[in-house]
Structure 1
Amino acid sequence: MLDIKKIRKDPGFFKEKLATRGVKPEEIDEVLKLDAIRRELLQQTETLKAKRNEASEQIGNAKKANEDATEAIARVREINNEIKELDDKLTENEEEFHDKMSRLPNIPHEGVPVSLTEDGAVELRKVGKIRQFDFQPKHHWDIGENLGILDFDRAAKVSGARFVYYLGLGAQLERAVYNFMLDEHMKDGYTEVIPPYIVKASAMYGTGQYPKFRESVYRVNGEDMTLIPTAEVPLTNYYSGEVIPAKELPVYVTAMSPCYRSEAGAAGRDTRGLIRMHQFHKVEMVKYTRPEDSWDELEKMTANGENILKKLDIPYHVITLTTGDMSFTASMTHDIELWMPGQNKYREVSSCSNCLDFQARRMHTQFRDENGKLQYVHTLNGSGLAVGRTVAAILENYQNEDGSVDIPEALVPYMHGVTKITKENAVPFRNK
C-alpha cells in the first residue's frame, strides 16, 4: 500500500512513476478525489459531534435547573441522524478509496529499467559454463518420462493438466533438492519454518495477492480461505499487526512449501514439463529489515539464491526486471534464470524483490526505533529456489546420451549415495 500523504503532497511524481507500471494518471486523480471527499466528511462529522456535545451540555444544565430541555433533546436527535448519514457516506467512500488504493502497485526504484513489457530487462551477470553436448540434448519431460520418474499422463487422469507424479528416484531427487536448499539457507542465517498452507483472505491482501490476483489462486471455504500460491504469504504475514522488537531486526526466515496456482491467463504457455504447474514445491526466503538496510539485504538475498546454483554447477544469469514485468508489490526485482539446454534458453527460477514498506503498510507491521518512533519495516522475498524448475534443469544439464542422468555432487549425500539415475534403478517396483 502506498502512503496517501505522499501522493497528496506530490501527485505528479506518483503519476510519472506509476505510468511506467501501466497506471493511468486518472487513477491517481480518482484516489485523490476520494481522499478529499473522505477528509471533508470527517471534518463535517467532527463539527456535528462538537455541536452535539454543546446540545448535550444544554440538556444537562436544563435538567439541573429544572428547565424544559425539549428543544435541546430534539436537536441532539437531529444531529445524531445527520451524523449517521455522514457515517454511511464515509463508509461507502472509504470502501471505494481503500479498494482503489489497494490496486496501485509499488513505486519502482530509479534503477529499474523502464518498459511496460519484459523487453528491456538488464543482465547483471552471467555465471557458469554452458555445457556443449556431443548429442542433441532432450527436454526434461522426455528424459523424465523415458526414465519413468515423471508421469504426467496418470496425473492428468487423476487431477487434470499441469500436474505430475514423481516416482522413485525422481521423487527422491525432488526431496534432495529442497533439503539441500534449506540446509544452505540455514547456513546463511535463515530460520527454517513450516508455515500453514491455507491462509485467510486478509493474509493474501497483506502481501498484495488480493484484490488484484484473486482469480489466479485456489480458494477453499468460499472466499475466505486460500491455498497458498507461495510461502511468501504465511511467512511475510507472521508479524502482521505487530511491532517487531528492533533488536530482532533483520529477521531471516525460509520455508519449503507446496504452492498452488490456477495459472489464469497462462493458457498455451509451457504446457509440457515442470515449468508451469498448478502444484509445485518452492523454497522461499523472506526478510524483515530496517528501511536503511533493505537494499543491501536484496543483494544478499539474491546471492543466497545464486549460491544454490553455483553449488549445483548449473549455469545461470541474473537480470533486473523492467517496471512492467516485476511483481505488483516490488520496488525492484532481480530474477535468477537457469540454463535449460533442451530449450536452449534461460528460464526463471527465482525472483528476489525488495518491497520496501509496501507490504508492511497493508499488514501494519512496524518496529520502534531508538528514538521511540514507530516505523514500518521493509520486507523482501525471493525463491530459493523453485524446486521443480531446479529438478528440470538438473535433468537437462546432467543428461547423458544413453538417457541416464548424473546426480550433481552436492546432492549425492541427499540421494543416499546414488550418483546416477538409470532405467534400471529409477523406479524400484518396475525393476524387480
Structure 2
Amino acid sequence: MIDPRTLRDDPESVRASQRARGEDEGVVDKLLSLDTSRRSAIAAADKLRAEQKALSKLIPKASGEERAELLTRGKDLSAQVKAAEVEQNQASEEFDQLHRALPNLVHPDAPVGGEDDFTVVKHVGEPTKFDFEPKDHLELMESFGAVDMARGAKVSGSRFYFLTGIGAQLQLGLLNMAIAQALENDFVPMITPSLVRPEIMAGTGFLGAHDSEVYRLRDDDLFLVGTSEVPLAGFHADEILDLSDGPKRYAGWSSCYRREAGAAGKDTRGIIRVHQFDKVEMFVYTRPEDAEAEHQRLLGWEEQMLAKIDVPYRVIDTATGDLGVSAHRKFDCEAWVPTQDAYRELTSTSNCTTFQARRLGIRHRDQNGKPQILATLNGTLATTRWIVAILENHQLEDGSVRVPEALRPFVGGREVLTPLVKK
C-alpha cells in the first residue's frame, strides 16, 4: 500500500501515477472521501468511549436516583459505542479494501506508456549473426536429449516438460552459478516454500487484478508461488528488522508456477513461456532512502551473471503501464534470441519501495529507535529460460553448442554439447 499521508497531503501525485499506469484516477477522490469518513467515525467512537469511561468512574460514587440515571445513561452510551464501532469498522474496511487495490506510485523518470513504450538504457554486445541457418532452442535441446516436451504434455498437459540429461544439468548448473555469485556478494541462500497463505500472496501484490495468473489450491486455501519473491517477502512479515549493518539480502531458489492465462498462442514452442520453471531470485530489505541505490546494485549483479553466459543483451526501463502492482520502477535485461530475431526477457529487477512492507507489517528502527516501514526490492539471477539464450547464441554449424567458459565448472567441465548419435 502507498503511505496514506501521501494520499492526503499530495493527492495529485497519486492521480498522476494512476494516469501514467493507465489506471482510473477517480479512485483517488473516492479514497479521500472514504478516509474522511473513516477518520470521522474513529473520532466519534473515541469520543463516546471517553464519555463511557468517565461515566463508569462516577457510577460507584453515586446513589439513589442519581445512580439510576447514571446507569440508564450508561446503557444508552454502551449502545451508542457499539453502533459507532460498527460504523468505524465498516468505514475502515471500505477504505482498506480500496487502498489495497491502489498500485504503487511510479517513479517520475519511468517512461510513460504500455508494453512497447519502454526506454532502452543500453545495449551490450551485438546481435549474434551466423553464416548458416541457426536452429532454435527446442531443436537443439531435442538433438542433445535435453528435453521431452511430448511426455511433459502427456503427464501434466501443455506447456509442461521434462528436462532430461544435459538439460537438467544446464538448469542446475545455471542456478548453482547464480547461488555462487550470490554468496560472493553476501546474500543468504534460501530454499523457499512453493505454497503460501493468501495474506502473504496478497501482501506482495500478486492478488487482485492479476490473480487469474496464480494457481490456487482451494481445499487448502494456499497459493502456488510464481517467484520466490513471495515467500521471501513473507519471511519477515510482522517483524521489526535490524538494518544497522546494512540491507538484509536473500537469494531464493524455487520452482515457480504461472497459469499464463492471458498468453494463448504466445511462445508455445519450447521452454520460453511455460507453467513451471526454476529460478534464483534476489530479495532485499533496506531503508527507503537507500532503495534506489540498491536497485542499481541489483541490476549490476544481474548484468554480472549475464556476462558469464556471454550473450548479447539490452537493458530496458519498463514503461509505467507494464509495471506490476508493487513496482515503483523496473529494469529488465533482455537477451538476443537469434531465431526469433528479437530480444527476450531473462532478468527483471523491481524497486517496490515501502509498498509490500506496509501491507506485510515489516519495519526497521530509525536512528532514533522508532519503528518505520522499510523498502523491499527483488531481482532475477537465473532461470530455466536462460538455456534458450545460451543454446541459440553459442550454437555451431555442426549442430553442437559451445558452453560459456564460466558455466563449464557447473556442468561437469563440458566445453561443447554435441548431438546424440541416433541408434
TM-score range, shorter chain: over 0.9
Q: For 1:242, which of 239, 243, 246 is the aligned residue?
A: 239
Residue in 2 that maps onto 1:99: 97
Partner Cα distance (1:167, 1:394) in 2: 17
Residue in 1 that maps onto 2:19: 19
The residue matched to 1:308 in structure 2 has which SS?
helix
Residue in 2 that maps onto 1:54: 54
Identity %: 39
Q: Is the 8 A contact 1:114 1:324 kept in 2?
A: yes
1:384 corresponds to 2:377: no
- Give, in angstroms, the shift of residue 67 of structure 1: 5.2
1:416 corresponds to 2:409: no
Partner Cα distance (2:269, 2:32) in 1: 46
- Give, in angstroms, the shift of residue 125 of structure 1: 1.1
- Give, in angstroms, the shift of residue 405 of structure 1: 2.1
Residue in 1 that maps onto 2:329: 332
Q: How does 1:116-265 map to 2 (within 5 A)?
A: 117-222=114-219, 224-265=221-262
Q: Is the 8 A contact 2:145 2:166 kept in 1?
A: no
1:80 corresponds to 2:70: no
Higher alpha-carbon deviation: 43-52 or 304-313: 43-52
Q: 1:77-131: CA deviations, max 9, x gaps?
A: 222222222222222222221111111111111110111x122211111112332
The residue matched to 1:271 in structure 2 has which SS?
coil
Q: Is the 8 A contact 2:145 2:420 kept in 1?
A: no
Residue in 2 that maps onto 1:109: 107
Q: For 1:349, which of 346, 356, 368 is the aligned residue?
A: 346
| One-letter amino acid of the structure 2 residue matched with residue 170 of structure 1 | G
1:38 corresponds to 2:43: no
Q: Is the 8 A contact 1:147 1:403 kept in 2?
A: no
Q: Which stretches in structure 1 are left out of the alignment for 5+ residues?
A: none
- Give, in angstroms, the shift of residue 298 of structure 1: 0.8
The residue matched to 1:346 in structure 2 has which SS?
strand
Q: Is the 8 A contact 2:187 2:250 kept in 1?
A: yes
Q: 1:384-412: CA deviations, max 9, x gaps?
A: 12x22101111111222332222211121
| One-letter amino acid of the structure 2 residue matched with residue 222 of structure 1 | D
Residue in 2 that maps onto 1:301: 298
Q: Is the 8 A contact 2:308 2:407 kept in 1?
A: no
The residue matched to 1:196 in structure 2 has which SS?
coil
| One-letter amino acid of the structure 1 residue matched with residue 60 of structure 2 | G
- Give, in angstroms, the shift of residue 40 of structure 1: 1.2
Partner Cα distance (2:14, 2:392) in 1: 45
Runs of 4+ in 1 over 6 A off after TM superposition: none
Q: 1:15-35: CA deviations, max 9, x gaps?
A: 122211122221111111111
Q: For 1:313, which of 310, 315, 340 is the aligned residue?
A: 310
Higher alpha-carbon deviation: 350-359 or 366-375: 366-375
The residue matched to 2:139 in structure 1 has which SS?
helix
Partner Cα distance (1:139, 1:96) in 2: 52
Partner Cα distance (1:70, 1:141) in 2: 87
Q: TM-score with structure 2 length normalisation? A: 0.95
Higher alpha-carbon deviation: 73-82 or 268-277: 73-82
The residue matched to 1:284 in structure 2 has which SS?
strand
- Give, in angstroms, the shift of residue 68 of structure 1: 5.6
Q: Is the 8 A contact 2:173 2:411 kept in 1?
A: yes
Higher alpha-carbon deviation: 361-370 or 243-252: 243-252
Q: Is the 8 A contact 2:41 2:91 kept in 1?
A: no
Partner Cα distance (1:410, 1:348) in 2: 21
- Give, in angstroms, the shift of residue 344 of structure 1: 0.9
Partner Cα distance (2:278, 2:269) in 1: 17
Q: Is the 8 A contact 2:143 2:420 kept in 1?
A: no
| One-letter amino acid of the structure 1 residue matched with residue 246 of structure 2 | L
Q: Is the 8 A contact 2:243 2:286 kept in 1?
A: no
| One-letter amino acid of the structure 2 residue matched with residue 20 of structure 1 | A
| One-letter amino acid of the structure 2 residue matched with residue 252 of structure 1 | R
The residue matched to 1:335 in structure 2 has which SS?
strand
- Give, in angstroms, the shift of residue 330 of structure 1: 1.1
| One-letter amino acid of the structure 2 residue matched with residue 56 of structure 1 | S
Shift of the 268–90 alpha-carbon distance from structure 1 to 2, 3 Å rule, reads farther
Partner Cα distance (1:107, 1:224) in 2: 30
- Give, in angstroms, the shift of residue 221 of structure 1: 4.5
Q: Is the 8 A contact 2:129 2:338 kept in 1?
A: no
Q: Is the 8 A contact 1:316 1:346 kept in 2?
A: yes
Q: TM-score with structure 1 length normalisation? A: 0.93
| One-letter amino acid of the structure 2 residue matched with residue 101 of structure 1 | H
- Give, in angstroms, the shift of residue 289 of structure 1: 1.4
Partner Cα distance (2:23, 2:155) in 1: 41
Partner Cα distance (1:95, 1:334) in 2: 35
Partner Cα distance (1:272, 1:88) in 2: 55
Partner Cα distance (1:259, 1:57) in 2: 60
Partner Cα distance (1:20, 1:223) in 2: 38
Partner Cα distance (1:315, 1:148) in 2: 26
- Give, in angstroms, the shift of residue 373 of structure 1: 2.5
- Give, in angstroms, the shift of residue 223 of structure 1: 6.7
- Give, in angstroms, the shift of residue 418 of structure 1: 2.1
The residue matched to 2:336 in structure 1 has which SS?
strand
1:398 corresponds to 2:416: no
Partner Cα distance (1:80, 1:261) in 2: 51
Q: Is the 8 A contact 1:128 1:310 kept in 2?
A: no
| One-letter amino acid of the structure 2 residue matched with residue 201 of structure 1 | P
- Give, in angstroms, the shift of residue 147 of structure 1: 2.9
